[in-house]
Amino acid sequence: MADKYLDLVNTPLPGRLAKALGLPRPSVLRRYTPGEAIATRPVLVAGSGSGADALAEVLLGWDVEVRRHVLPGEKLSAAVVVLDAVAAPADLAGPMLELGQAVKLLVPGGRVVALFRSSADTTDPAEAAARQGIDGAIRSVAHEVRWGATANGIILRGDAATTDPTTLGALRFFLSGKSAYVDGQFVEVSATPAGSIAGLAAATTAEGEGVPDQPLAGRTAVVTGAARGIGAKIAEVLARDGARVVALDVPAAGEQLAQVANRVGGTALQLDITAPDAAARILEHAGQRFGMLDIVVHNAGITRDKLLANMDASRWDSVIAVNIASQLRMNEEFLASPVFSDTGRIISLASTSGIAGNRGQSNYAASKAGVIGMVRAQAAAFDGVGRTINAVAPGFIETDMTAKIPPLTRQVARRLSSLQQGGLPVDVAETIAFLASDAAAGINGQVVRVCGQNLVGA
């Protein structure tokens, strides 16, 4: 559903009126267009040390104008602050204050990206305080930046370098229009597994050879719940990126499903994912037609809202069955099958309701928090291998589901994020396509929120 208020405040007179009355003024977000430049203005790489120097070199290879310090009055596309060597909270002042000067110079839709090491990887209290401090500071910057700009962070785990292929993949994602609705978030990056196909393909980006137009070319992806909403958009974006898509949905949605499959040049699979043979049928379909299954997007989901006091067993059970139990069962079978690729990706849809809880959604929140638990636990089995499993947690996304929310509540829900608007299905789809790509080979067991820095459960 269109956000008419957003359209209105982006015209001159209503915009001025909203400003005078102190009303929210959401900006039109900078979203990805194929062939877009990584930056149209210079990019600041703040921070000293070899990690910052090496990263600045890589950006130069991407044909980006790099600045190591703010030049008064010069507009910036992005500010990348490299804080991988901080040892104590006092070390933060220099680069953070420089970042403060940079954010004033960001163009609309500008980007702030911080790179730093995990506080979980040190036992030194001062070092841990400094590292964790960056988390708080960058979340605050995300609240402060305006005109559709965002601030996010890349947390380097173990000995991952600032120029590791996955670090660079994540940086490209955050700098691009693909991350338009990802704000105030952090992804943890481990060193890209050596020798994986993924590592080799992503490495070319470090050498300045650019990113392939179709990073998923030759891959086969299954998207559950693909007949409409977010699932249909995921199918479209994965196909745009070169994947062969198996669009899956219940038989009752067969007509819409066929339309989606035709639109993306894929195949349709009518199937209820709660069926005991669901995984076997997916593997058979992908195996027979394409020889391999590389990407699984567990998108199908349902809500059956009721206060817990009024909840009946059928509402509870159906939500758990579709949203989490089916995935647990299918993942076991995918992992055990030779049809599921050695560099396979599983990406599961969680929800901010699973992080913060939501009135009337105890069953749904249990299932979506369950997805987060599943992804974190299963990641251990994938560690160091070419396969990954991650979750994406959308906030308020403009779909049929959220169009059913009463108008006033919907207006309020839209404004309750730093970006003061709902996201679009494409925002969720772009994040999933990134996690499915080689460039994300070192991202495993993560939950990436696509929520515009929703104020709920931040």
Min dist CB 90 to ligand NAI, Å, is 40
**Which of 9, 222, 261, 300 touches ligand NAI (CB under 6 A)?**
300
**CB of 156 closer than 8 Å to CB of 118:** yes
Q: Does 301 bind ligand NAI (CB under 6 A)?
A: yes
d(CA 180, CA 36): 14
Q: What stretches of 272-323 show up as alpha helix (H) in DSSP?
A: 278-290, 313-320
Q: Does 224 bind ligand NAI (CB under 6 A)?
A: yes
Nearest one of 230, 456, 447 to 353, comparing CA atoms: 456
Contact segment (CB under 6 A) with ligand NAI among 112-120, 141-149, 194-202, 246-254 equals 246-254
Q: Does 249 bind ligand NAI (CB under 6 A)?
A: yes
Min dist CB 436 to ligand NAI, Å, is 16
Nearest one of 370, 428, 420, 432 to 401, comparing CA atoms: 428
Cβ-based nearer residue to ligand NAI, 87 or 403: 403
Cβ-based nearer residue to ligand NAI, 322 or 436: 322
Q: Does 299 bind ligand NAI (CB under 6 A)?
A: yes
Q: Is 19 helix (H, G, I), strand (E, B) or coil?
A: helix
Q: Return the residues of window 145-204 that contact ligand NAI according to CB under 6 A.
A: none
Cβ-based nearer residue to ligand NAI, 149 or 392: 392
d(CA 454, CA 458): 6
Min dist CB 56 to ligand NAI, Å, is 37
Q: Walk across the sheet containing 76-82 and list its strands.
A: 66-67, 43-46, 76-82, 106-117, 150-156, 186-189
**Which of 53, 98, 121, 272 touches ligand NAI (CB under 6 A)?**
272
d(CA 33, CA 3): 21
**CB of 129 closer than 8 Å to CB of 91:** no
Q: Does 127 bind ligand NAI (CB under 6 A)?
A: no
How does strand 76-82 pair with strand 220-224?
unpaired
Residue given tokens 């062939």 in the structure block = 35
Q: Does 264 bind ligand NAI (CB under 6 A)?
A: no
- For 397-422, b where at least 16 C-beta lie within 10 A, e where not — what string? bbbeebeeeeeeebeebbbbbbbbbb
Active site residue 181: no
**Which of 400, 403, 404, 409 touches ligand NAI (CB under 6 A)?**
400
Cβ-based nearer residue to ligand NAI, 199 or 370: 370
Q: Return the residues of window 29-88 that contact ligand NAI according to CB under 6 A.
A: none
Amino acid at position 456, single letter: V
**Which of 228, 244, 315, 345 touches ligand NAI (CB under 6 A)?**
228
Choosing from 5, 32, 181, 364, which is the catalytic residue? 364
Contact segment (CB under 6 A) with ligand NAI among 39-47, 57-65, 92-100, 229-237 equals 229-237
Helix, strand, coil % over all residues of the chain, rounded to 5: 45, 20, 35
Q: Does 231 bind ligand NAI (CB under 6 A)?
A: yes
Cβ-based nearer residue to ligand NAI, 119 or 421: 421
Min dist CB 356 to ligand NAI, Å, is 12
**CB of 109 closer than 8 Å to CB of 29:** yes
Give the contact letters, 331-370, x = binds to ligand NAI (CB under 6 A), - = no.
------------------x-x-------------------
Min dist CB 260 to ligand NAI, Å, is 9
278 CB contacts (<8 Å, ≥6 apart)?
271, 272, 326, 329, 330
Q: Does 258 bind ligand NAI (CB under 6 A)?
A: no
Q: Is 140 helix (H, G, I), strand (E, B) or coil?
A: helix
Min dist CB 449 to ligand NAI, Å, is 10
Count of residues in contact with ligand NAI, rule CB under 6 A: 27
Contact segment (CB under 6 A) with ligand NAI among 106-114, 167-175, 294-302, 330-338 equals 294-302
Query: Residue 65: what are its φ and ψ, rounded to 5°?
Result: -75, 115
Min dist CB 188 to ligand NAI, Å, is 22
Cβ-based nearer residue to ligand NAI, 76 or 322: 322
Reported for 201-204, long-range contacts at CB under 8 A and 24+ positions apart, including other chains, are: 201/438, 202/165, 202/166, 202/168, 202/169, 202/438, 202/439, 202/441, 203/165
Length of the chain: 458
Which residues of this chain interact with ligand NAI, rule CB under 6 A? 224-225, 227-231, 249-250, 253, 272-274, 299-302, 322, 349, 351, 394, 396-397, 399-402
- Residues annotated as catalytic are 364
